[in-house]
Amino acid sequence: MCVASEDVCSVFQDHCDEGSCDTELPGSVQVWEVRRGPVPLGNAIHLLKGRSPSPVLYSSLGLLRRTRHRLLQRQLARNMTTLSPENSLSAKQSASFILGLHPFVRTEAWKLLTGYYSWQSSRDDRLMVDSKRRRNYEALCKMYEKIQPLLENLHQNFTETQNNIAYDIQKLYDKDPLGNVLIDKKKLEKILLLSYVCNTQAEYQQGFHEMVMLFQIMVEHDYETFWLFQFFLQKTEHSCVINIGVGKNLDMLSSLITFLDPDFAEHLKGKGSGAVQFLFPWFCLCFQRAFKSFDDVWRLWEVLLTGKPCRNFQVLVAYSMLQMVREQALVESMSGDAILLACNNLIDLDADELISTACLVYAELMQKEVPQPLKDFFL
C-alpha cells in the first residue's frame, strides 16, 4: 500500500509509465547469435557512442569471452544428444546469451535492458531522459521530506517498515575482501524508504536491501539506483515480490516438477512435502545468495531482463537447482526439511552453468505437449 500523498504517488507512477513504454528489445536487435556471442553489447555500445562498434572495440573489451564460450558450447553439445535438431539449436542459441555483459558497458546497457532508456534513443535523448529522471527523483525526495513527520505519526506500518529497513541495513556487510567500503548505507536506507512510500505494488520485504545494494554498486548516483530498481521490478513482472509473483512462481515450479519429473514430484508430495513452498527466498532475492560473485548475479538478472528464451525463466532456474539435490533426496528418502536444508546449501554456483542447464530444461519442455497453464506462464 502506498502510504504517501497522492502527489508523491502520481509523480512516481507517471515516471514509471514513461519508462515502460519501450522496454522490449527492438526487432532489429538479435538477443543471441552463436557465432558472435551476446550481440546486445554491440548495440549498447552503438547507442552509447553514436557510431557502429568496431572489431577493435569488441576485441579490446573482451566482449566475446571466446574461450569460455567454446567450453560452454561443448558442454551443451554433450547434453543435447537426446534433443531434436530444432530444439537442440534453440537451446544452444538461448545459452549464447549467458556470456553476459562486460563490466565496461554494464551500467549503460542495463539502462537499455530495463527500459530506463529507449532502445531507439539517441545520445542526446538519453542525456535528456537522464536529466529528467534526476529531477523527478529530487522532487520525490523533497515531497517525501515534507510528509515524513506525518507518516511517522499517523502510519504504524511506516514506522515498522522504517525500523525493519534500518535493522536489515545494519546487518548488511558492506566491505569487499580488502576491507574497502562498497556502499553508502545511509543513501541505501533513503532509497529503500522512498521506494516503499512511492511504489504501490512492491512494499518493502526482507531482501530488497541486498538487491538494491547491487544496483548501488553498479551505478554512480542515487537517482540511477532508485529508478533502475523500479524498472527492474517492472520488467521482471514483479516476480520477486511476495504478494505478486513469488506465490505464482512456487505454484508453477510444483507444476513443472509434476510434468517433467513425476517420480520426484511424488516424493515431494509424500515424505518430502513442504520443501518447494519454502523455497521462496530463491525468488524473493532473485537467487542472489546462490552465486559466488556479483558478476554471476548480474549475469542471471540480465538474462531475466531479456525475456529470453522465455518468460518467467526464473522458474526454470529454480527447477535446475532443485534437480541438483534430486538424486540425494530420492536415494536417502529425505524429508521436506532435509531437502530444504540441502537446497539452502546450494551456494557459490556458476551462473553460466546454471543458465545453460535451465536453457536445456526449456528445450526439453518445448519437445512435449505442455499443459496450457505452463504454456501460458512460460510463453
DSSP letter assigned to residue 207: T
- Identify the residue with better confidence: 31 or 373: 373
* Matching residue, cell 539452502: 344
pTM (2 d.p.): 0.79
- Start-end ranges of CATH 1.10.472.80 in the chain? 242-378
Q: What angle do CA 169, 278, 308 make, to 5 degrees?
A: 80
220-255, pLDDT tens digit by residue? Answer: 999 999 999 999 999 999 999 999 999 999 999 999
The phi, psi pair for 349, rounded to 5°, reads -75, 160
Confidence grade of residue 95 (pLDDT, cut at 50, 70, 90): very low
Q: Are 19 and 115 in contact (CB under 8 A)?
A: yes
Three cell numbers, residue 340: 530444504
Confidence grade of residue 104 (pLDDT, cut at 50, 70, 90): confident
Q: Are 231 and 200 in contact (CB under 8 A)?
A: no
Residue 9 has pLDDT above 90, yes or no: no
Q: Are 379 and 311 in contact (CB under 8 A)?
A: yes
Q: What is the dihedral of CA 193, 194, 196, 200, to 10 degrees?
A: 170
The number of beta carbons lying within 10 Å of the beta carbon of residue 189 is 18
The number of beta carbons lying within 10 Å of the beta carbon of residue 122 is 11
Give the closest residue to 253 by CA, choosing from 137, 140, 361: 361
Q: Are 315 and 357 in contact (CB under 8 A)?
A: no
Q: Are 271 and 288 in contact (CB under 8 A)?
A: no
Q: Are 172 and 210 in contact (CB under 8 A)?
A: yes
How large is the angle between the packed helices 66-79 and 351-366, nearest 10 degrees?
A: 40
Q: Are 206 and 285 in contact (CB under 8 A)?
A: no
117-139, pLDDT tens digit by residue? Answer: 999 999 999 999 999 999 999 99
- Identify the residue with better confidence: 155 or 68: 155
Give the separation between CA 234 and CA 122, rounded to whole angstroms: 23
DSSP assignments along 331-367, one per residue: HTT--HHHHHHHHHT--SB-HHHHHHHHHHHHHHHHT
Residue 90 has pLDDT above 50, yes or no: no
Residue 185 has pLDDT above 60, yes or no: yes
| Sign of CA pseudo-dihedral 114, 88, 66, 75 | positive
pLDDT at 55: 38
Q: Are 5 and 143 in contact (CB under 8 A)?
A: yes
35-64, pLDDT tens digit by residue? Answer: 223 333 333 333 333 333 333 333 333 333
Distance in angstroms between the alpha carbons of the first and the last residue of the chain:
30
Please give the mean pLDDT across all residues of the chain.
Answer: 81
Q: Are 188 and 213 in contact (CB under 8 A)?
A: yes
CATH fold of 242-378 reads Cyclin A; domain 1 (1.10.472)
Give the closest residue to 275 by CA, choosing from 286, 290, 264: 264
Give the closest residue to 252 by CA, choosing from 231, 233, 279, 287: 279
327-364, pLDDT tens digit by residue? Answer: 999 999 999 999 999 999 999 999 999 999 999 999 99
Residue 18 has pLDDT above 90, yes or no: no
